[in-house]
Amino acid sequence: MIEKNLKIGYTTGSCAAAAAKGAVTLLLLNQKLSQVSLQTPKGIILQLQLQCCYWKEQKTICAVKKYSGDDPDVTNGMLLYAMAEKIEEYGIVIDGGKGIGRVTKRGLQREIGEAAINNVPIHMIKQCVQEVCTLADYNKGIAITIFAPEGVEIAKKTYNEKLGIVGGISILGTSGIVEPMSEQALLNSIKVELNMKAINSNGTIILTFGNYGSDFLKKHFDIDIDNAVKISNFIGECIDFVNTLPIQSLLLVGHIGKMIKIAGGVMQTHSKYADCRREIIGVHAAMAGAESEIIKNIMETVTTEQALFLLREYNEVIFQKTMHTILQKIIEHIQYRLQKEIEINIILFSEKMGILAQSQGVEAFLKKYL
């Protein structure tokens, strides 16, 4: 549910389609519009202002300024241009120019070498162009080139290069509008990366929650952080998505502060959803033989690191047993969430104590991966 005080924006796909509509209107009808009307796939009608609209020799160019509303977006305020020209061949041909990325890896919506303009924006652009062609009774070909001079620099602030898109931004959007739900936007981008990694990694994938896990991999195993997918707090939804991918084995590397929640069956690790870290450590410590006094002390700690330090100081054997049963419980909950047989490898670590526990298959996985 979107809060009433949050502003809705529009996607780069809507901007490109609106700019294309303005450019083709000038090209075929010789009408210079100040704004264009656009129906988004979600059914919302947008009225988008054209920042410029002009002839360049036999071609026409229009631009729309990207507006992201209250959803944080590095493309907010940039100009997206569309250049239109008549061509002899029939149909509508769409390509990307300066500032629009090119696909270099499999697993994305476009083929290698094509402009990074996704399927829904392609459809929106064609729909807008065809609308004007019909109005002008024009039945030959139109070529549309989408470009964004600022795109080269803005792309450096995105995950595009990591995903295999070089030279600029992507033209994106499925609904045509940007709703201020950054969690969903983040999850969608994670799924894109998971899909790309799955297709290009021979059935293996490494997951981390964020920078802690990626930095740990680099420091202790010399694994390039670009080879790991950062899944933020979305372990459950990412595991669900892994079910749909050609993955045979995965490695999940995580700080104990996040991983301990999975041991309790919590599949969204943000603190606003659940915080049962001390309780889980306490239960596993008790099963390992810890006395009630140390359990009470664990329950009074503030951080997971503190709790583990107390337990280790109390008894190393009980500490190791506790880490082992927590590890097994994490594997059990992930396996339960998965709907197919996948080899699950886990590394638990803390900043101060390093590796706390790891599953038996980790070394073999890393040898195969490296």
pLDDT tens-place string over residues 184-240: 778 888 999 999 998 888 889 999 998 888 889 888 888 876 778 999 899 999 999
Angle at 325 between CA 322 and CA 328, to 5 degrees: 150
Q: Could you tell me if 124 and 41 are in contact, meaning their C-beta atoms sit under 8 angstroms apart?
A: yes
User: At which of 145, 178, 211 does a domain end?
Assistant: 178
Q: Could you tell me if 57 and 46 are in contact, meaning their C-beta atoms sit under 8 angstroms apart?
A: no
> Which range of residues forms the domain containing residue 314?
183-369
CATH, residue 117: 3.30.2110.10
pLDDT of residue 1: 35
pLDDT of residue 97: 98
Say whether 267 sits in a helix, a strand or coil: coil
User: At which of 115, 143, 178 does a domain end?
Assistant: 178
Kindly report the pTM of this predicted structure: 0.68
Structural domain contains residue 72: yes
Count structural domains, the chain.
Answer: 2
Do 96 and 32 share a structural domain? yes
Do 330 and 228 share a structural domain? yes
| Cα–Cα distance, 209 to 256 (Å, whole number) | 11
pLDDT of residue 2: 40
First to last CA, the chain: 44
Structural domain contains residue 2: no
Do 113 and 221 share a structural domain? no
Who's near 342: CB < 8 A, 6+ residues apart?
242, 247, 248, 249, 250
Structural domain contains residue 345: yes
Do 210 and 112 share a structural domain? no
User: At which of 158, 178, 198 does a domain end?
Assistant: 178
Do 363 and 225 share a structural domain? yes
Say whether 165 sits in a helix, a strand or coil: strand
Do 273 and 199 share a structural domain? yes
Helix %, strand %, coil % for the chain, to 5?
40, 25, 35
User: From start to end of the chain, where are the E strands?
Assistant: 9-10, 35-39, 45-56, 59-65, 79-87, 92-96, 99-100, 102-103, 141-147, 165-166, 168-169, 177-178, 204-208, 228-230, 249-255, 343-350, 354-358
Do 112 and 255 share a structural domain? no
Do 145 and 79 share a structural domain? yes
Q: Could you tell me if 170 and 110 are in contact, meaning their C-beta atoms sit under 8 angstroms apart?
A: no
Report long-range pairs for 283-288 (Cβ below 8 Å, ≥24 apart): 284/322, 284/325, 284/326, 284/329, 285/311, 285/318, 285/322, 287/322, 287/325, 288/318, 288/319, 288/321, 288/322, 288/325
Do 346 and 212 share a structural domain? yes
| Cα–Cα distance, 188 to 2 (Å, whole number) | 17
Who's near 65: CB < 8 A, 6+ residues apart?
15, 49, 51, 77, 78, 79, 80
Do 193 and 173 share a structural domain? no
Do 100 and 218 share a structural domain? no
pLDDT of residue 273: 85
pLDDT under 70 in the chain at which residues? 1-6, 72, 180-182, 225, 370
| Cα–Cα distance, 31 to 88 (Å, whole number) | 22
Structural domain contains residue 4: no
Structural domain contains residue 132: yes
The closest of 289, 260, 273, 283 to 349, measured between CA atoms, is 260
pLDDT of residue 155: 96
Do 203 and 164 share a structural domain? no
